[in-house]
Amino acid sequence: MKIFYLALVTVLFFSHPCFSTEPLSPIDQRYVERLSIGGPTTIRDVAKSIYRSEQANTQVLDVAAEVLMRDYQVAIDNTQIDALAWVIKALALADTNRYQVILAEVAENASHRKIAKYARKMQDDDLPEGPAYEPGSVVLADYEPDQASPVAGASAATESNREVHPITIVREGMSIQEAYDLVGYPTSEHTYQTGKQWIPFNYKGGDIRRQAALYKGQGRIVFSNTSRYSNSWRVLEVLVDEAETGYP
C-alpha cells in the first residue's frame, strides 16, 4: 500500500504543470530565456507576442507570472508598467484559473494603478478549476541561457552559430526581429502599400504597409505595420511554398 501511495504522489507531482518535463519548443525556449534575463522592453515584447499569437505554454506563463510577482510592487516608469500590463494580458490566456490568485493580489497591492487595473480586468471567476500558481515555484535564474544570447548582447560569432529553423515555426503576431532570430534573414524582401492607406478614418495607420520576406524553397512571411507612427512590424501570415524563388 505504501508503494502504491508513493507511486501516486510521484505521478501527481511530475504531472503538475510546474514540473512538466516536456521539452520546450524553440520559440518557447526563447520566450523563457528573454523573460528571465530581459529588461522591461524585452519583457513587454515577449508578452505581446504571446498574447497576439494566442498560444500559451504553461511553463512560459509560469515564468511570466514569476516576473510579474517580482516586479509588480517596484515598477515605477512607463516602460516597466506597460511591460507588466502586457504580462497580465498574456496570463489571461490560461485555460484554467491557475493565475487568478496572483492577479487578485496584484490588483490589491500593485505599485501603479494601471497594473492594478489590468489585473482586475483580467480576473475571471468562470475559468475551470486547476492548480494555482505558487509564487517562488519558478526560479528565473534556472532559465537563463548558458551562454550570452543576442538578447543579452551576444557577439556576431554567437549570432552566426544560432540554429536556424524553417519558416513554418513562425507564429502570427511575432515581431519581425523575433521571426528573423528564429528563421534567419530572407533571400529578399519587398514592401508594398495596402488599400487601408486610403481609409479616411484610419488614424492609427495600422496595416497600411506590408513587407514580404521571401525564402527560397520555403515560401514567404508577410509582416504588417502596427502604426504609421512607428517602425514596428508583426507577422500577419506565413505562406509555405516550396516553389518560392526567393525574389519578387
DSSP class per residue in 107-164:
HHH-SSHHHHHHHHHT--TTSPP-PPP-TTSS-GGGGS-SS--GGG---HHHHHTS--
Instruction: Output the nine-digit C-alpha cell for 53.
Output: 499569437
Enumerate the β-bridge partners of residue 213: 189, 221
Classify 24 as helix, strand or coil: coil
d(CA 74, CA 80): 9
pLDDT in tens, 95-153: 999 999 999 999 999 999 999 999 999 999 899 999 999 999 999 999 887 644 444 44
CB 230 within 8 A of CB 243: no
Closest CA to 133 of 89, 110, 103, 111: 103
d(CA 26, CA 169): 9
Say which residue the cell 483580467 belongs to: 122
HSE, side-chain direction, 13 A CA sphere, residue 114: 14
Q: Indicate the domain borders of the chain.
A: 24-143, 160-240
d(CA 151, CA 38): 7
Q: What pTM, to 2 d.p., does this model score?
A: 0.74
d(CA 66, CA 32): 11
- Higher per-residue pLDDT: 24 or 86: 86
pLDDT in tens, 56-89: 899 999 999 999 999 999 998 999 999 999 999 9
pLDDT at 245 (0 to 100): 94
